[in-house]
Amino acid sequence: MPVSIVRLNRLYNIPAVKARPASKRQKARKARPARRGMLDIGKSSFYENIVLKNPDDPFIPGTPVRRLPVIPLGPKAVGAAEEQVERVSEELRRWREEQLLVSANSERDTKLALPIE
């Protein structure tokens, strides 16, 4: 059964780049618009928190969500199974909703417990 692979650079945000004319030392650089990744997270934070590098530390910090296992595609290119990307995204969404619900319930309970003046 074939597995769909997503390159990791599609998952994190890439900042915009301004155009720059050529100089004696460097070539000209074209402008590039910013691109929002599927997980809407910065590159450094993505590799530090989301990608599984150490099997002894399998969870995303502060959550019960397991990190994203990666597949080497070449000397520099790295990818992940689309199923795994969807799993991480869905589990993070569910965990966040649970946190918001717990927070809203505790605020409501606190307001009910306070005496009315």
**Every domain of the chain and the residues it spans:** 5-17+29-113
35-67 pLDDT tens trace: 999 988 999 999 999 999 999 999 999 999 999
Structure tokens at 105: 């319930």
- pTM to 2 decimals? 0.75
73-86 pLDDT tens trace: 999 999 999 999 99
Helix (H) / strand (E) containing 107: helix 82-113
Structure tokens at 18: 């301004």
Cβ-proximal residues to 20 (8 Å cutoff; 6+ apart), any chain = 26, 28, 29
